[in-house]
Amino acid sequence: MALAQPREDQTGGFPSGFKVLPAALDEGAQAALLADVLAVLEAAPAYQPRMPKSGHPLSVTMTNCGPLGWVTDQAGGYRYQAQHPESGRPWPPMPARLLELWHRHGGYADPPEACLVNLYRAGAKMGLHIDQDEEAADAPVVSVSLGDTALFRIGGAQRRDPTRSLKLHSGALVVLGGAARHCYHGVDRIYPGSSALLPQDRLTGVRRINLTLRRVSRG
Ligand code: SIN
Ligand code: FE2
């Protein structure tokens, strides 16, 4: 039997299982979540991730919360691990607010195990990729955006497939479920100064934060 291929949704042109709630978090909810993220950053400072083999730095910096964190470095490549790669300490717990968003929007019984925190400065972007380091390939990825608007792009299961773009503003929530879970996606750019949410005295130069919730192991 042929494997299911991501299908284009008839109306929107986005892959099936792709859901965006452009304003899922109001200003109060964004501020509350930001406070949680600042506490995570205190406990687990952002580090500079690097591409496997080449050691080329990614343009974002990263940290995680939850029992597992997604990390990448020159020697070890892409992986999940329970400790911060620099401090060796366990990641801080996943804030209750994120668990609640996962259960409300993710439609998946088991809790997320990792929340990857991507910090975008002016000029940062994220090349087209598929999230595929998780054993629980049936679980959705739920992501939340805070701060400056990003130009997000999603295509199909093949890198050459046509893509669609949309802007993600502060408070937007995206679900990559179903076929969309296995589609290429990335961030082409951010729009520096489009949001005043992120406190520059605490987050120098960081213009956008994306939180990506993942279930890693099979339940
Ligand atoms: C990602 O795919 O890892 C990040 C997406 C985003 O920053 O919106
Ligand atoms: Fe991703």
Among all bound ligands, the one having the nearest atom to the CA of 183 is 2
What average pLDDT does range 161-166 have in this prediction? Answer: 97
The predicted pLDDT at position 11 comes to 41
Rg (CA), the chain: 16
Question: What are the residues whose beta carbon lies below 5 Å from ligand 2 (ion)?
Answer: 131
CA distances to 23, 47, 112 from 184, in Å: 23, 25, 21
What average pLDDT does range 36-52 have in this prediction? Answer: 98
The predicted pLDDT at position 2 comes to 45
Please, what sign has the CA dihedral across residues 82, 84, 89, 93? Answer: negative
| Strand pairing class (206-214; 141-147) | antiparallel
Q: What is the pLDDT of residues 67-125, one digit of tens each?
A: 999 999 999 999 999 999 999 999 999 999 999 999 999 999 999 999 999 999 999 99
Among all bound ligands, the one having the nearest atom to the CA of 152 is 1
Residue 146 makes CB contacts below 8 A (sequence gap 6+) with 30, 33, 34, 37, 170, 171, 197, 198, 208, 209, 210, 211
The predicted pLDDT at position 13 comes to 84
Distance 126 CA to ligand 1 centre (A): 7
Quote the DSSP letter at residue 171: T
Residue 1 makes CB contacts below 8 A (sequence gap 6+) with none
pLDDT confidence of 7, banded at 50, 70, 90? very low
**Phi, psi (degrees; rounded to nearest 5) at 109:** -65, -45
Atom 1, ligand 1: residue with shortest CA distance: 186
pLDDT at 211 over 50: yes
Sketch out the chain's domains with CATH numbers: 18-214 (2.60.120.590)
Atom of ligand 1 nearest to the CA of 152: 8
Of 6-20, 36-50, 106-120, 159-173, where does mean pLDDT reach its minimum? 6-20
- pTM, 2 dp: 0.94
The predicted pLDDT at position 30 comes to 98
The predicted pLDDT at position 202 comes to 97
The predicted pLDDT at position 123 comes to 98
Atom 6, ligand 1: residue with shortest CA distance: 210
b/e 108-123 (16+ beta carbons within 10 angstroms → b): beebbbbbbbbbbbee
Q: What is the pLDDT of residues 165-200, one digit of tens each?
A: 999 999 999 999 999 999 999 999 999 999 999 999
Distance 44 CA to ligand 1 centre (A): 19
Distance 195 CA to ligand 2 centre (A): 22
Looking at every residue in the chain, the average pLDDT score rounds to 95
Atom of ligand 1 nearest to the CA of 116: 3
Q: Residues with beta carbon inside 6 Å of ligand 1?
A: 118, 126, 143, 145, 150, 152, 168, 185, 187, 210, 212
The number of angstroms, rounded, from the C-alpha of 119 to the middle of its chain's C-alpha atoms is 10
Token pair of 91 as six digits: 């990641």
Task: Report the candidate in 19, 30, 33, 24 with the shortest Cα–Cα distance to residue 172.
Answer: 24
Report the alpha-carbon distance of residue 56 to residue 207 in Å, rounded. 22
Atom of ligand 1 nearest to the CA of 210: 7
Distance 72 CA to ligand 2 centre (A): 13
Task: Report yes or no: 45 and 65 within 8 Å, Cβ to Cβ.
Answer: no
Atom of ligand 1 nearest to the CA of 141: 2
Task: Report yes or no: 211 and 144 within 8 Å, Cβ to Cβ.
Answer: yes
